[in-house]
Amino acid sequence: MTNTLITVTTRPCFHCGREGEVTVSSAGLVAYNSGKHVQDAFPELDKTIREQIISGTHPKCWDDMFAFDEDAPEDDGEAE
Ligand SMILES: [Zn+2]
């Protein structure tokens, strides 16, 4: 099977309300559309990108949400 890269539009993000785009392999997309789990269809993708494929939530928006929740970042030495 020829494996090309396809850019797909993801659903509106639940945090910012905007759609997004992810680039995936055509083989992965076929596998995903035929019912494979996202982590099996796209093992090469970052977890946050897979999340965007599922829910539309952008990786950056996840960061925002968690940053909102967590006030104290673990890396020290960051003066405010
Ligand atoms: Zn977003």
Residue 74 Cα to ligand 1 midpoint, Å, equals: 24
Q: What is the pLDDT of residue 77?
A: 59
Domain ranges of the chain: 5-65
Its pTM surpasses 0.85: no
Residue 20 Cα to ligand 1 midpoint, Å, equals: 8
Q: Helix (H, G, I), strand (E, B), or coil: what is residue 26?
A: helix
Tens digit of each residue's pLDDT (9 = 90 or more) over 16-70: 999 999 999 999 999 999 999 999 999 999 999 999 999 999 999 999 988 855 5
Residue 6 Cα to ligand 1 midpoint, Å, equals: 21
How far is residue 20's CA from residue 43's CA, in Å, rounded to a whole number? Answer: 20
Q: What are phi and psi of 21, to 5 degrees?
A: -135, 140
Report the candidate in 13, 24, 19 with the shortest Cα–Cα distance to residue 57: 13
Q: Which amino acid is at 45?
A: L
